[in-house]
Amino acid sequence: MEESNKKQIDNKVEVLPGVGPKRLEALHSLGIFTIYDLLTHFPFRYEDIQVKSLDEIEDQEKVTLKGKVVTQAVVNYYGNRKSRLSFKLAMEDAVVSVSFFNQPYLKSRIHLEEDIAVFGKWDSLRQNLAGFKILGSDPSSDEQKDFESVYHVNKSIKQQTIINLLKAALESYYDLIPEVIPEEFNQHYKLMLHKDAIRAIHFPQNEEEFQQAGRQITYQEFFLYQMKLQLLRYKRKKGSKGTAVLYDVSKLKEFIQTLPFELTEGQKQVVNEICRDLREPFEMNRLLQGDVGSGKTIVAVISLVAAALEGYQGALMAPTEILAEQHYQTISQLFEDTNFSVALLTGSTKVKERKQILEDLSLGNLDLLIGTHALIQDDVIFNNLGLVVTDEQHRFGVNQRQKLNEKGQNPNVLYMTATPIPRTLAITLMGEMDVSTLKQLPAGRIPIRTIWSKSEQMESSLEFIEKQLLQKRQAYIITPLIEESELMDLKNAKEVHERVSSYYQGRWKVGLLHGRQKADEKEQIMQAFKNNEYQVLVSTTVIEVGLNVPNATVMVIQDAERFGLSQLHQLRGRVGRGSVESFCILLANPKTENGKERMKIMTSSTDGFYLSQKDLELRGSGDLFGVKQSGMPDFKYGDIVKNANVLDAAHSDTIYLLSKEDFFDSAEYMPLREYILNGQTHTKKLQ
């Protein structure tokens, strides 16, 4: 039959009986378009169905009752096609009635004198169980446990409809569910077939089967996602469209000699990783993650110099003017006794100067252009762009980063981030990149001392700050993020500013920074703080992550329990940048155990990687600072925190597969190749 020839797992879901236009619309709104979408619309929870006795259950509770059928089942019809099936069930200590509505066909499954288990809702007044379903083939077993899947639904579609559709889909499409995981991994991890996992995840026979199904689905989901990322990485490295920057190594070493400090071991290693990539014909696509203050800037500068030594131009983009300017000042100094030229381009660059810069840039008279988003404007044309560096990369959208990269012909790309992220997140979000990590801080840094005090201790915090101010230091006071309303933030920040200003009146100047100010106003205030025109800066969380004011030695964070660990760490990183001891005071009265735990962790660790891992564990991936914007895939089943080990395994398995010489030829891998090249993974969003 022609029709059956076309039966495929990605057939439209409306081929199933009973899916009319209205239902179809409801399914679409749940993201279900194909049969496979439906089959991978996983239950979001299961009701654990346990057999209980009557004295254990409450009115209206959903339970399973077990007993002997002691009356013949009778069906009464009433109204328009409505019916009620009822019978009596003898349990150990009582006889109860059971009724099923509008399922007259169940009558054939209920036999006098037989043991039976029924799942339903208990009505204690009527001593009646409104049955939902008849359970299990062997109700005599005491071990019996059953699950009822619960699905995400919406107003126009019911649980039972989803369940019925799933049953119909499994009936006709079970054999068509593709098996793409290579046999070697199935065996190694003892995975069940995907088709069986799909069936069992919806209709598990027992707990063990349900667990095994979850294992297969999680692994497959992560595996296919990693396969996509690793394929991108593989193709980039195999291709030779990039720029091989064969700079003179001894000249680069000479430049490194001129730096005011010795590189840390970590910096040396990372510089090596980057420079090795630069010399290869593929385009580098590398993430440099390092804790706040770990010295990423200098690594970027050395890489840019390597490119410049071979006559390639470089671009360094930062998210705000103040950061771009900071970089410009640092780098101009480092370039002072060299032949390298550098310019700064931002929104406030004067027209005439801008014109000159753009001309130099297009003629190739400029080695390095530093700037903000201004770098991605259309009329910014490089002569020979070889290396693009994006600082605080998570602050830019994918498109903005891409636009800068397109200003050269497959230039080498280095992304930098001061938001260390746990490995599991890194391989999910950035698995297609190579990652360099700076763990160590430059020697001689004195760790920030962090103290947790009660919120009422504001006054003594101000006294503490004053002692530092008297030693010519500066201080930050951070006011909390109030999720519900930016206006509340502002009100609160203003109040704190007033209070602090009047406390220090006539002695110290206090600045205020908040989200409602215009960009240039913010920049002005930060600049003024840098210049020590303000000794104290009251700020909401808009305070710039890369802001470098080494003279600031105290930070007080109000209502610190409202922040996540990573964010507290980022904020705290504004101090501890100079050569004297710095302090961070967390004012917090956390009400939850989780909140107390976070405060304790903050006082005991300054390791950004450790903190981000803890953050992930305590708050889940969705809340992790800086991750929301970065295009987190929404896995349908796997949880990258709970199933981190599966993710890790899937990651290395895909790398191993692609390193096999026969991956692209062997018949063994054909289903997988077809699936990843033509099909889609469970995961909708691939950034």
CB of 389 closer than 8 Å to CB of 300: yes
Q: Per-residue string for binding with ligand ADP, 435-464, x by CB under 6 A?
A: -------x----------------------
CB of 537 closer than 8 Å to CB of 322: no
Q: Does residue 293 bind ligand ADP (CB under 6 A)?
A: yes
Instruction: Pick one of ligand ADP, Mg ion, none as the site partner of residue 290 (Cβ within 5 to 8 A by kind).
Output: ligand ADP
Closest CA relative to residue 537, chosen from 497, 481, 488: 497
Segment near ligand ADP (CB under 6 A), from 14-22, 35-43, 243-251, 296-304?
296-304
Q: Does residue 271 bind ligand ADP (CB under 6 A)?
A: no
Place of tokens 């410049």: 308
Structure tokens given for 606: 């300054």
Q: Does residue 333 bind ligand ADP (CB under 6 A)?
A: no
Q: Does residue 294 bind ligand ADP (CB under 6 A)?
A: yes
What's at 656, amino acid-wise? Answer: Y
- Cβ 444 to ligand ADP shortest distance, Å: 7
In 260-320, which residue ranges form alpha helices assigned H by DSSP? Answer: 265-279, 296-309
Segment near ligand ADP (CB under 6 A), from 293-301, 401-409, 579-587, 644-652?
293-301
Nearer of residues 265 and 520 to ligand ADP, judged by Cβ: 265
Structure tokens given for 177: 């569910």
In 560-637, which residue ranges form alpha helices assigned H by DSSP? Answer: 565-572, 593-604, 608-619
Instruction: Pick one of Mg ion, ligand ADP, none as the site partner of residue 294 (Cβ within 5 to 8 A by kind).
Output: ligand ADP
Q: Per-residue string for binding with ligand ADP, 250-269, x by CB under 6 A?
A: -----------xxxx--x--
Nearer of residues 267 and 492 to ligand ADP, judged by Cβ: 267
How far from the centroid of its chain's Cα atoms is residue 682's Cα?
Answer: 17
Nearer of residues 83 and 440 to ligand ADP, judged by Cβ: 440
Instruction: Pick one of Mg ion, ligand ADP, none as the site partner of residue 585 (Cβ within 5 to 8 A by kind).
Output: none
Segment near ligand ADP (CB under 6 A), from 71-79, 89-97, 291-299, 674-682?
291-299
Output Rg (C-alpha) for the chain, integer angstroms.
Answer: 32
Residue with the CB atom nearest ligand ADP in the bound state? 295
Q: Does residue 101 bind ligand ADP (CB under 6 A)?
A: no
Structure tokens given for 623: 């809340």
* Contacting residue, 149, 297, 558, 683, with ligand ADP by CB under 6 A: 297
Place of tokens 């209709």: 203
DSSP type of residue 71: S
Structure tokens given for 449: 């001392």
Q: Give one DSSP letter per residue of 189-206, joined into a string.
A: HTPPPHHHHHHHHHS-SS
Nearer of residues 230 and 417 to Mg ion, judged by Cβ: 417
Q: Distance between terminal CA atoms of the chain?
A: 41
Structure tokens given for 319: 């998210």
What's at 112, amino acid-wise? Answer: L
- Within a 13 Å sphere around the CA of 119, how many CA atoms are in the beta-carbon half? 15
Instruction: Pick one of ligand ADP, Mg ion, none as the site partner of residue 292 (Cβ within 5 to 8 A by kind).
Output: ligand ADP
Instruction: Pick one of Mg ion, ligand ADP, none as the site partner of residue 408 (Cβ within 5 to 8 A by kind).
Output: none
- Cβ 40 to ligand ADP shortest distance, Å: 41
Q: Per-residue string for binding with ligand ADP, 526-555, x by CB under 6 A?
A: ----------------------x-------
Q: Does residue 371 bind ligand ADP (CB under 6 A)?
A: no
Q: Give 216's contacts (C-beta < 8 A, 6+ positions apart).
A: 191, 192, 193, 194, 196, 197
- Cβ 579 to ligand ADP shortest distance, Å: 10
Nearer of residues 168 and 263 to ligand ADP, judged by Cβ: 263
Q: Does residue 418 bind ligand ADP (CB under 6 A)?
A: yes
CB of 197 closer than 8 Å to CB of 217: yes
Nearer of residues 73 and 322 to Mg ion, judged by Cβ: 322
Structure tokens given for 468: 């530092």
Number of chain residues interacting with ligand ADP (CB under 6 A):
16
Strand 115-123 vs strand 62-69: parallel, antiparallel, or unpaired? antiparallel
Task: State the virtual CA torsion across 572, 577, 581, 587 in degrees, nearest 10.
Answer: -10
Q: Three-state SS string across 47-67, please?
A: EEEEECCHHHCCCCCEEEEEE
Q: Does residue 290 bind ligand ADP (CB under 6 A)?
A: yes
Q: Per-residue string for binding with ligand ADP, 189-228, x by CB under 6 A?
A: ----------------------------------------
Structure tokens given for 327: 């970089």
Q: Does residue 296 bind ligand ADP (CB under 6 A)?
A: yes
Nearer of residues 136 and 295 to ligand ADP, judged by Cβ: 295
In whole angstroms, what is the distance from residue 14 CA to residue 16 CA? 5
Site for Mg ion in 526-555 (CB under 5 A): 546
Q: Give one DSSP letter per residue of 83-104, joined into a string.
A: EEEEEEEE-SS-EEEEEEES-G
Structure tokens given for 193: 């077939």
Segment near ligand ADP (CB under 6 A), from 106-114, 289-297, 468-476, 614-622?
289-297
Instruction: Pick one of Mg ion, ligand ADP, none as the site partner of residue 264 (Cβ within 5 to 8 A by kind).
Output: ligand ADP
* Contacting residue, 131, 136, 242, 295, with ligand ADP by CB under 6 A: 295
CB of 8 closer than 8 Å to CB of 176: yes
Phi-psi region of 506 (alpha: psi -120 to 50; beta: other; left: phi over 0): left
- Cβ 324 to ligand ADP shortest distance, Å: 13
The residues that touch ligand ADP, with contacts defined as CB under 6 A, are 261-264, 267, 290, 292-298, 418, 442, 548
The residues that touch Mg ion, with contacts defined as CB under 5 A, are 546
